Chain A
Amino acid sequence: MTGNLLSVLVFLPLAGALILLMLPRENHGLIRSMAGGTALLTLGVSLFAWSRFDGAASGMQLGESYPWIDFGMAAVRYELGVDGLSMPLLVLTTVIAAIAVLASVKITERVKEYFVWMLVLTTGLLGVFTALDLFLFFLFFELTLIPVFFLISIWGGKERNRAAFKFLLYTGLGSAVMFVAFIALAFTGAEAAASAQASFNMIVLADMFANPAIPEVLGTAVRAGLFAAVVLAFAVKLPVFPLHTWLPAAYTQAPVPVTMILAGVMSKMGAYGVLRVGYGILPDQAATFAAVIAIFGVINIIYGACLALVQTDLKMLIAYGSMSHMGIILLGAASYTQAGMQGAIFQMVSHGLIAALLFFIAGALYERTKTGALSELGGLSRSVPVLAGFMLAAAMASLGLPGLSGFVSELLAFMGIFGAGDLIPAAAVIGIIGVIGMILTAGYLLIAVQRTAFGEMKEQFKGLPDVRPGEYVPLIGLLGLSILIGVYPNLLSDIINTTVIDIITRAGG
């Protein structure tokens, strides 16, 4: 039953996209139902996979492995699998994708194409989180970028071409570096293991690089270079300062459902890549670079938060806030502690839910008020009390209020960094700067709430429609999951704990 479960999960959206292609272009209702049905079915399959996943077991589960391409000097295999790091992200992806597809009611042009790209994107994302072969991983990674490029440049806002081009430029850079890094990893790995044929399998590579004799075969500089290249490649996606300037453009110009996926899931591809490839294959280098990663983590937190503080547009504010929150992932991961690593994974999931929620709300407000300028908004608690209530709740989730998921991830990440004194010099100082970021976060989010929801009701916003039935699905779904994890985090930690223990143990051994 579970033999090819992951393949089914990964390619289900693609199959849906193929069916969509055969449907008549004008029949929007049918297209929407088909796309929504596919996304929900995919969500169902991912939940089934979750139920089959044994949180207490080490290593990859639900694995699939088939020979694929033999280049002679290198072999590429079709290999999928999940562990405690990828399982939550898999479910996150299907949740956000389903909600994004359902939230696409405002798309009325080139409907069929739009949903085709959305489903192709979903397959790419699921592939990234399940692929165990670097080559396959790279293909899936690239498969996510093309749909996003079109989704922004066709259905985006006024500045969509500039945003799409910028996205393309950065992504091209990232992909190029990634490609080189992967090839180099495979061949240096083979060299280190004195193997005739290079393998792209991440697990095999990890074992090769774990060989105690490796420092003699591959110098520190080479391994450091490999790690740096891997991190650089993924840093664009996260994004890490100073590779972030594509983010505000893309997040604000993409149609809302696409931004939900961009901020909610695609940024996690970057974090996942760093952990899976960087930490997974080169744990010793991850430890060496811990201080650097931690410093980039706090720079992201502070720099993003400061930029968010002075934004005049709601979406821009959320976009920079989103960037700031990615720093928590780096901080937790850098600490290389049980708590910190768990915090990083918690933050991936939590940020995925909350960022998607915030962008959805910003989109819903924009649709009603036709403006994103903070100076023009205000008093919405009067005109749209329920939506404003959700906005307040989302802001609280984002600033790490306990009872919501963000708190757990921040707590864990800070437990990690404050406990990383052995690995990172001045870890406490980095931690202190990080927590100052929490104050700034509260600052910009409260500014956002005050400028939009509080104040006298404005004449022009009188009689705006409050939350529509269809909008309750994303609002309650995303907020509900954040509350669920915040109130009972064991739901998540029971899945990821064993994997994190393995990650930490490997670094120690």
Chain B
Amino acid sequence: MIQNAWLIPLLPLAAFVILLLGGRQLKQAAPVIAIASVAGAFVLSSVVLMERIGGDTFAATVRWLTIGPVDVTMGFEVTALNSLMLFVVTAVSLLVHIFSKRYMAEDGRIHVFYGYLTFFTFSMLGLVLAPNLLQLFIFWELVGLCSFLLVGFWYFKKEAADAAKKAFLVTRIGDVGLLVGLVLLFNATGSFEYGAAFAAVEAGEVSGTMVTVIALCIFLGAVGKSAQFPLHVWLPDAMEGPTPVSALIHAATMVAAGVYLVAVTYPLFLASGTALTVVAYTGAITAVFAASIALVNTDIKRVLAYSTVSQLGLMMLALGTAGYVAGLFHLMTHAFFKALLFLAAGSVILALHHRQDITRMGGLWHRMRTTAVTFLIGTLAIAGIFPLAGFWSKEAVLAAVWANGDVVLITLAALTTVLTAFYMFRLFFRVFAGTYRGDVEAPAENGKTVTVPLIVLAVFAVTAGFVHFPLNGYWLEGFMTAGLNYGDQAHGGLGLAAVSLLLAAAGAGLAWRLYGKGEESGMQEKVPAVHHLLENKYYIDEIYAAVIVRPLMTLSRLFVEVDRWIIDGAVNFTGAITFRTGRQAGKQHNGQLQTYGLVSVAGGIALIAAVFAVRGYFG
């Protein structure tokens, strides 16, 4: 099967083509076709992962573009990293596809929705299978397109259309960085292929400065895609998309592509201490920054969105502190528990007829038991409570940061742990504890297509951590680093585990004290200035509008005036004179053709005469 791994993305692509061409006729069959294709991809991915664990590997390429003597190729390669990613992506995608059948059932364009969703799955799988940076970029842009289409799925809502545009433009800033990075890498090493390019870097063929520049350009792409500070602004707005989209694209897979990108180009970062430090600090700052905004937000999806930004920051932090396995391990566990949290949130939103304001929730524990329990499992997992998946992966991240030894980073990581537990439990209590404050009559569960994906993801959220824990000798590490020379991976001990549990418990306990009854805490009155700052997301959007958008528009309008008055003014002036001269010279012929001929020929002859006189041809 591993030789045919290219079939995995093609299955959802086939479904996309069918839905694109025949969607309107298919209507009810559309979800079934999409689910079947992704189920197929999931089965194949599982087989490929098993074979990869068994030690098989495979790579193939075809010629794509010839530049002088250089052939640029496309193809696929199955590595430890991407076989794992194939599994995670298809697993989450399959569950989201199933979940969406009910979630989107009332939407008249459900076939379009499934079309986009399958195209996204295709693109994301293509991204992880890519054996070179150019091919990765191609699919990187395609997942961005899908994100745009799905955030703006309800394009008739202004908020959705604006959010889609914002998502596209902000990530494009990063994409442009990545493009420059890969162009520079090609110019420096003569190849887009990971292996060949990194070999050239490791052999010292590229100057240290250039490696740093390339790594930072590539990282800019990751910052955009993974919504890291200061390009994080698009992700919370992207919550305008349907919730299954938020779960799949804006929590589990696409936004993690930035982390994946840093991981696949890791040799470049290892070769540049500066780049590695930038990654670590960006991640750490983002982690705390986003978590702090999540403390006060009252939209169930936006809290989770800021949480995602924060958790992606932790992954970056791990990669930046040489925790290659830790970062990717956390990527994997996060994919499961965050998809779970989003889908559970979706279940709540569906039950409340698309209300997302947590001040109008509460008391849902008794009304939606499955959703509540699975949401609690997700909350425990992300807070890092033993022995759920998040505990082990966060443990690995903290171990890497601890081993790195930078006090600032350690402090930020610890702070993030407290904040994460706090805002997640706040969210849990506000939604499920106390009494129901909403206006929708008798909210209740939405049936098996909704709850079954929740239960499956909850199982993953509990167990996924056991691929990498002391009792199996940190199995994941052996699998992922075989044949790679990415340095020793740090492991936490009992002490670190105890401290991190204490930090999480502190956050959760504080949330229980303040929000345990599901009601407002009164923080707004106690620290109004802080609350205001956080509620307004540190005014980043406003700053961008003032510093970038408005000056750009002013400049553009200035150009319009330049065009109209200066350039066109000169033209019209010349035109008027020529036209008058032409009139006088050819009074008998007033037709436009004559004018035309006159302008060109007379002007031409005059110039020829001048030139030839100077050059002496007539002399």
Contact = CB atoms under 8 A, between A and B. Distances in A.
Interface in B93-147: 134, 137-139, 141-142, 145
Name A's interface SS: helix
A454 B559 contact: no
Contacts of A170: 571
Contact of A414 (B68, B179, B557, B567): B179
Nearest to B141: A402
A187 B559 contact: no
B138 A432 contact: no
A172 B607 CA distance: 12
B569 to A, nearest CB: 10
A307 B592 CA distance: 31
A454 B179 contact: no
Given A310-B557, A439-B169, A490-B63, A454 B603 contact: no
B168 A442 contact: yes
B166 to A, nearest CB: 9
B152 interface: yes
B128 to A, nearest CB: 16
A411 B132 CA distance: 15
Contacts of A446: 165, 168-169
B68 A179 contact: no
B180 interface: yes
Interface string B556-598: 1101100100011001001100110000000000001101100
Given A168-B596, A402-B141, A457-B156, A431 B66 contact: no
A142 B158 CA distance: 49
Contacts of B183: 411, 414-415, 418-419
A179 B67 contact: no
B599 interface: yes
Interface string A394-420: 001000011100011001101100110
B152 A401 contact: no
A415 B186 contact: yes
A418 B559 contact: no
B65 interface: yes
Contacts of B138: 402-403, 407
B180 A435 contact: yes
B341 interface: no
Given A165-B575, A338-B67, A401-B141, A453 B155 contact: yes
B165 to A, nearest CB: 5
A464 to B, nearest CB: 16
Interface stretch (A103-111, A367-375, A496-504): A496-504
A179 B604 contact: yes
Contacts of A338: 67-68
Interface residues of B, number: 61
A191 B467 CA distance: 81
A441 B134 CA distance: 21
A173 interface: yes
B173 interface: yes
Nearest to A307: B559
Interface string A189-211: 00000000000000000000000
A176 interface: yes
A488 interface: yes
B209 interface: no
A172 B603 contact: yes
B176 A309 contact: no
Nearest to A340: B67
Nearest to A225: B611
A309 B555 CA distance: 10
A453 B165 CA distance: 13
Interface in B14-68: 63-68
Contacts of A176: 599-601, 603-604, 607
Nearest to B566: A242
A173 B553 CA distance: 33
A306 B552 contact: yes
Interface in B142-162: 142, 145, 152, 155-156, 158, 161-162
B523 interface: no
A450 B162 CA distance: 8
Contacts of A310: 553, 556-557, 560
Contacts of B168: 442, 446
B180 A418 contact: yes
Given A146-B596, A402-B141, A455 B158 contact: yes
B187 interface: yes
A84 to B, nearest CB: 12
- Most chain A CB within 10 A, of B553, B599, B617, is at B599
A407 B172 CA distance: 14
Given A307-B563, A415-B187, A379 B156 contact: yes
A247 B560 CA distance: 14
Contact of A438 (B165, B176, B560, B604): B176
Contacts of B607: 176-177, 179-180
A309 B552 contact: yes
A306 B559 contact: yes
A214 B596 CA distance: 38
A443 B170 CA distance: 10
Given A179-B608, A435-B176, A396 B68 contact: no
**Most A CB atoms within 10 A — which of B138, B155, B578, B603?**
B155
B122 to A, nearest CB: 11
Nearest to B176: A435
Contacts of B560: 307, 310
A419 B141 CA distance: 23
A412 B187 CA distance: 11
A138 to B, nearest CB: 10
Contacts of B64: 488-490
Contact of B156 (A342, A455, A490): A455
Contact of B66 (A188, A457, A494): A494
A89 to B, nearest CB: 19
Interface in A425-461: 431-432, 435-436, 438-440, 442-443, 446-447, 450, 453-457
A23 B567 CA distance: 45
A306 B152 CA distance: 25
A86 interface: no
A456 B157 CA distance: 7
B563 A172 contact: no
B212 to A, nearest CB: 14
B559 A164 contact: no
A437 to B, nearest CB: 9
A175 B555 CA distance: 33
A307 B158 CA distance: 24
B526 interface: no
Given A149-B596, A169-B599, A382 B552 contact: no
B245 to A, nearest CB: 17
B600 A184 contact: no
B184 interface: yes
Contacts of A309: 552-553, 556
A339 interface: yes
B353 interface: no
Contacts of B579: 165
A303 interface: yes
30 contacts: A165-B592, A168-B592, A168-B595, A172-B596, A172-B603, A176-B604, A177-B607, A183-B608, A187-B617, A245-B567, A245-B568, A382-B156, A396-B145, A402-B138, A403-B138, A403-B142, A411-B134, A411-B183, A414-B183, A415-B187, A418-B180, A435-B176, A435-B179, A438-B176, A439-B172, A442-B168, A455-B155, A455-B158, A457-B156, A490-B64
Interface of B: 63-68, 134, 137-139, 141-142, 145, 152, 155-156, 158, 161-162, 165, 168-169, 172-173, 176, 179-180, 183-184, 186-187, 552-553, 555-557, 559-560, 563, 567-568, 571, 574-575, 578-579, 592-593, 595-596, 599-601, 603-604, 607-608, 611-612, 615, 617
Given A168-B599, A170-B571, 15 more contacts: A165-B575, A169-B575, A172-B596, A176-B603, A176-B604, A307-B563, A408-B65, A414-B180, A438-B172, A439-B169, A488-B64, A489-B64, A490-B64, A497-B66, A501-B68
